Amino acid sequence: MNTLTNAPERCPLNATFELTVRCNLKCKMCLFRHDDKENAEIIRNELTAEQWAGFAREAAEMGTVGVLITGGEPLLRPDFCEIYESIYRQGFMISLYTNATLVTPEIMELLRKYPPHKIGISIYGASPETYHKVCGNAAAFEKMLEGSRLLCTLPSVTEFRTTIIKDNFCDSRAIEKLVKENFGERHSVTQTRMVMKAVRGACADVESCRLSPQDNVKLSLQKSIDILRERIGDGFDENNVRIRQENLKKNADCSSAVNHRLSLFGCSGGMTAFAVTWEGKLQACQTLGAFSTDAVELGLKKAWETFPLSVKLPEPNKKCLNCEMSDLCQSCYALRYAETGNLEDCPEYACRDCEVMKSFCL
C-alpha cells in the first residue's frame, strides 16, 4: 500500500454554510433548489439555529476565517437573524449570498448592526419580464432592486452576480447597465462562466435552458469584445478576434510546487475549504455531493478530520488526461460529477465549450 509521506497540511480556512436549499424564486438553472413538493420534508431535516451556532463555534476553534452564508435563499429561513448573529459573533470574515428579494426591516436592522464583509446579490434580468421567464416571478425584479438599494447602504463590499441562460441572454448587457445606473459605476457584474447541471437532488432541468457552447463562449468574451469594438470603431469585425493562449503551466513559477504538492481534488476543496449542507453533511464544496461526512453525528471537527477517508477517486480518464485543451477546460470533479453522474467520464458540454474557445485562439 502506498502512503503519502509528503501530503500538505489541511487547514479549514474557508467554510460555506448552506442554510437551506429552499428558495422563494424558481430559477430555471438553479444548482441547488429542490422541487417545492419536497419543502415540508426539507424543513423537517434542516439544521436548527442551535446546530448552526454550534458549527460556528467549532469552525472558529478549528481556525476557519471566512464563512459564506448561502442557500437556496438563506433569508427565507424564519430564524435567519438568530443563525446569522450566532455565526457573526464568532468573528469570521462573513460573505452573504442572497437574491435580495426578502430584505425586511428586521433583517436590515440586524445587518446594520453586524454588516457582512461581502454581500453577493444575484441578479437574473433587467426587467420584470425577464425575471418572470428566468425565475418564474415578475414581481421579484422590483423587490430585488428595492432590497439591493437597502443592502448597498451597508458598509459591506457588494458584488452583483448573474447566471446567463437562454431566457436572459439578450439582457446580459442590460443587467450590467442596470447595476451601474442604480448602484454606481464601481459595481460590475460577475458572470458564471459555465452553468452546470443541478446537483444533490435539485430539480432544475439545466440542459434545456443553458446556452449553447457557442453562445456561452461568446458571452464569456463579450466584455472584452465590447471594449475592442469601442476602441477600434467602425472597422472592427468580431469574427477576426483571436485570443493568444498563454501557457500558464509553463510560465508559472512552480518552484514551490515541485515537492509533490498534493490535494484531494486539485483545488482547495477539502484542503483549505469545506461546505456544510442544509442537512449537516460536510463536503469539499457545495456542488460535489459524491463524498461527505456527517457533521451532525461526528461534530464538525471530526467530520473535517475524517473527510479525506470518505474520498475514493477513480483513475482519470485517458481522454481528459491527455487532452491538449486542458488549459482551457472548465471541468473539475464537481462539474464532471454533475454533468455525467460519475467522476471519471468526460463532460461533453465542457468539451464542446473548450472546442469553441480553442477556435478563437491563435
Partner 1 sequence: MSVDNNIRYQAKPNYIRRKVGGNDILIPVAENVADFNGFIELNSTSAFIWDKLATPHTINEVADAVADEFGADKIIAFGDTKELFDLMLEHNMLVEVG
Distances (CA, A) of 112 to 9, 38, 85: 37, 34, 12
In this complex, which beta carbon is closest to partner 1, that of residue 95 or of residue 137?
Answer: 95
Of positions 7, 93, 145, 323, contacts partner 1 by CB under 8 A: 93
Q: In the bound complex, what is the minimum distance in angstroms from residue 273's beta carbon to partner 1?
A: 15
39-68 residues in contact with partner 1 (CB under 8 A) are: 60, 63, 65
> Quick check: 125 binds partner 1 (CB under 8 A)?
no
> Given candidates 115, 120, 147, 269, which one binds partner 1 under the rule CB under 8 A?
115
Label residue 101 exposed, middle or buried (CB < 10 Å: 0-12, 13-18, 19+).
buried
Looking at 10, 57, 117, 161, which residue binds partner 1 (CB under 8 A)?
A: 117
Give long-range contacts, CB 8 A cutoff, 24+ apart: 79-84.
79/48, 79/49, 80/19, 80/107, 81/106, 81/107, 81/110, 82/49, 83/19, 83/49, 83/52, 83/53, 84/110, 84/114
Q: In this chain, which of 24, 156, 212, 263 binds partner 1, going by CB under 8 A?
A: 156
DSSP 8-state code for residue 308: H
* Segment contacting partner 1 by CB under 8 A, of 122-130, 152-160, 226-234, 325-333: 152-160
Cβ at position 191, least distance to partner 1 in Å: 23
Candidates 157, 170, 252, 262; binder of partner 1 (CB under 8 A) is: 157
Q: Shortest distance, CB of residue 265 to partner 1, whole angstroms? A: 22
Identify which of residues 113 and 312 has a Cβ nearer to partner 1 in the complex: 113
By CB under 8 A, which span of 86-94, 197-205, 228-236, 278-286 interacts with partner 1?
86-94
Residue with cell 467530520: 303
Q: How far is the CB of 185 from partner 1 (least distance, A)?
A: 18
150 binds partner 1 (CB under 8 A): no
295 closest CA partner among 43, 13, 15, 74: 15
| Nearest residue (CB) to partner 1, 42 versus 56 | 56
Closest distance of CB 133 from partner 1, Å: 35
Out of 17, 32, 55, 88, the residue judged to bind partner 1 by CB under 8 A:
88
In the chain, at which residue ranges do the beta strands (DSSP E only) sit?
14-18, 66-70, 93-98, 118-122, 157-162, 189-191, 273-276, 281-283, 293-294
Given 37, 44, 113, 249, the residue binding partner 1 (CB under 8 A) = 113
**Contact flag: residue 110 with partner 1 (CB under 8 A):** no
Query: Which strand (E) or helix (H) includes residue 56?
Result: helix 49-62
Say how far apart CA 89 and CA 85 lie, in whole Å.
6
Helices 348-360/213-232 angle, 10° precision: 30
Applying CB under 8 A, does 183 fall inside the site for partner 1? no
Window contacting partner 1 (CB under 8 A); options: 18-26, 108-116, 260-268, 292-300: 108-116
Question: Which range in 112-120, 251-259, 305-313, 316-324 contacts partner 1 by CB under 8 A?
Answer: 112-120
Looking from the CA of 241 toward its CB, the CA atoms found within 13 Å total 18
Q: What letter would DSSP give residue 233?
A: G
Cα(169)–Cα(175) distance, integer angstroms: 10
Q: Yes or no: say if 291 and 309 are a contact pair by the CB < 8 Å rule.
A: no
Give least dist CB 87 to partner 1, A. Answer: 12
Three cell numbers written together for 254: 512552480
Tell me which of 90, 127, 191, 268 binds partner 1, using CB under 8 A: 90
**Which residue intervals of 184-275 are DSSP H helices?**
206-209, 213-232, 248-251
H/E stretch holding 58: helix 49-62
Contact residues: partner 1, CB under 8 A:
11, 60, 63, 65, 88-93, 113-117, 155-157
